[in-house]
């Protein structure tokens, strides 16, 4: 199986700001790839370059085997971050229009539109004007516009923002369904739970630089579980944590609101450390916790910030 997207040495600047710097990225066909990164990191710029809405200053992109997405726009579905609809246009007309722009045959198009609206619980909005819909409903309409033509590649920029839990679940199911049909999906998100649930692969960008590009399995193995979560049997205020700090292999102890977190020097020490904790204080719960994507995100972004700060200080000295 080849790559749906190949990016080589791509750089994009806006005036003095470099939005994406010397980026290399391969996204295999059929995978679900999450683009994560803090606000202003360069995710949307990367997506827009993939979509050939804007063009890189340097570097090459290949999308679905073509040098530009312009040549394969009908095979791509796109839900932009800045979503919009024709406010005065009726929902059915809008989706029919988008289907025609995506090269769909007019004959069965209207039926497909109605089917999709029914699937996302918006069957009664076919004749309503887009402006009459709530933001979440409009988002579902826009999702339909992105996938109605059964594209090979679906790019969703922040698809979960503004959705309630029920609709987030619905969207997860729809994305999963698209994956099941063999489509390549890319979505940028700040919703780490959804990323954990859906992604095969993670790409993280920060200040225009790639800081993570792995499969989810690789990410888990790279960021070993090294956190002991201890919930004492006694009230937390009555627990003396000093003996815990002296347990071999424990790098740091943080007392939280309900539990105590023991950061281990390495996961190899986990077994011995857990035994010693149990011997030191009475525990209700003792858990070796895997870091969440959020932890990894914060670690990467925080580490990067620290590195950048360090660079600045060194430069200043």
Partner 1 sequence: MFKTFHVALREFIATVATKGFIIGVILPPVLMGVVLTIMPLLLREAAPKVEGHVAIIDRSGQAIRSFEKYMAPEAVRGEMRDQLGRDGSPLADSKQAEQGMKMAESMVLGSAQVSVRVLPSDADEAAERAQILTGEGKPESPDQRLALVVIPKEAVTPAEGEKPSDLQILHQPKLAVQWVGIIQNAARRAVVDARLASNGLDAEKIRGLMAAPKTDTKSVTEKGDVKTSEALKMLLPGAFMFLLWIAVFTSGQYLLTSTIEEKSSRVMEVILSAVSPMQVLVGKILGQAAVGLLLLGFYAGAGLIGLSAFNRMSLIDPLNLLYLGIYFIIAFGCIACLFAAIGSAVSDVREAQSLLGPLMIVLVIPMMLWFPIIQNPNSVFAQVCSFLPPISPFIMVLRISGTEPVPFWQIPATIALGMVTVVVFAWAAAKIFRIGILMYGKPPNFITLVKWIRMA
Binding site for partner 1 (CB under 8 A): 48, 51, 53-54, 70, 73-74, 76-78, 80, 82-89, 97-98, 100-103, 142, 145-146
**Phi and psi torsions of 9, nearest 5°:** 60, 40
Query: What minimum distance in Å lies between the beta carbon of 219 and partner 1?
Result: 29
Q: Which is nearer to partner 1, 37 or 77 (CB)?
A: 77
Q: How far is the CB of 4 from partner 1 (least distance, A)?
A: 16
Q: How far is the CB of 86 from partner 1 (least distance, A)?
A: 6
| Nearest residue (CB) to partner 1, 44 versus 259 | 44
DSSP state of 100: H
DSSP category for residue 129 = B
Place of tokens 């209700």: 284
What are 264's two structure tokens?
Answer: 């281990």
Q: How far is the CB of 34 from partner 1 (least distance, A)?
A: 20
Kind and range of the H or E element at 223?
A: none
Asked if 91 and 144 touch (Cβ cutoff 8 Å), the reply is no
Label residue 193 exposed, middle or buried (CB < 10 Å: 0-12, 13-18, 19+). Answer: middle
Nearer to partner 1, 70 or 254 (CB): 70
Task: Pick between residue 73 and residue 168 the one whose CB is nearest to partner 1.
Answer: 73
Decide: 153 and 183 in contact? Cβ < 8 Å.
Answer: yes
- To partner 1, the closest distance from the beta carbon of 179 in angstroms equals 20
Count of C-beta atoms within a 10 Å radius of residue 107: 8
Q: 68 vs 214, which CB is nearer to partner 1?
A: 68
């Amino acid at each position: 199986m080849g790559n749906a997207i190949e990016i080589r040495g791509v750089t994009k600047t806006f005036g003095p700001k470099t939005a994406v710097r010397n980026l290399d990225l391969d996204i295999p066909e059929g995978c679900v790839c999450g683009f994560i990164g803090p606000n202003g990191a360069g995710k949307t710029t990367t997506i827009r370059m993939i979509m050939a809405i804007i063009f890189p200053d340097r570097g090459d992109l290949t999308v679905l085997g073509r040098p530009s997405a312009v040549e394969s726009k009908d095979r791509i579905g796109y839900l932009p971050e800045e979503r919009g609809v024709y406010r005065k246009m009726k929902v059915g007309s809008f989706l029919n229009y988008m289907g025609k722009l995506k090269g769909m045959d007019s004959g069965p198009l209207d039926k497909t539109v109605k089917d999709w609206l029914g699937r996302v619980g918006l069957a009664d909005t076919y004749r309503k004007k887009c402006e009459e819909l709530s933001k979440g409903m409009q988002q579902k309409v826009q999702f339909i516009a992105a996938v109605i033509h059964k594209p090979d590649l679906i790019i969703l920029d922040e698809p979960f923002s503004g959705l309630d839990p029920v609709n987030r679940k619905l969207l997860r199911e729809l994305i999963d369904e698209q994956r099941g049909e063999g489509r390549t999906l890319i979505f940028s998100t700040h919703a780490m739970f959804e990323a954990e649930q859906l992604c095969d692969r993670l790409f993280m960008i920060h200040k225009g630089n790639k800081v993570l590009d792995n499969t989810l399995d690789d990410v888990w193995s790279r960021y070993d579980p090294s956190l002991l979560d201890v919930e004492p049997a006694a009230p937390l205020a009555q627990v003396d944590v000093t003996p815990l700090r002296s347990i071999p292999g424990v790098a740091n102890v943080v007392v939280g609101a309900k539990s105590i977190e023991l950061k281990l020097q390495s996961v190899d020490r986990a077994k011995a450390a857990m035994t010693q904790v149990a011997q030191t204080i009475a525990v209700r719960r003792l858990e070796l916790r895997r870091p969440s994507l959020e932890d990894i995100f914060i670690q990467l972004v925080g580490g990067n910030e620290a590195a950048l700060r360090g660079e600045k200080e060194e430069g200043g000295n």
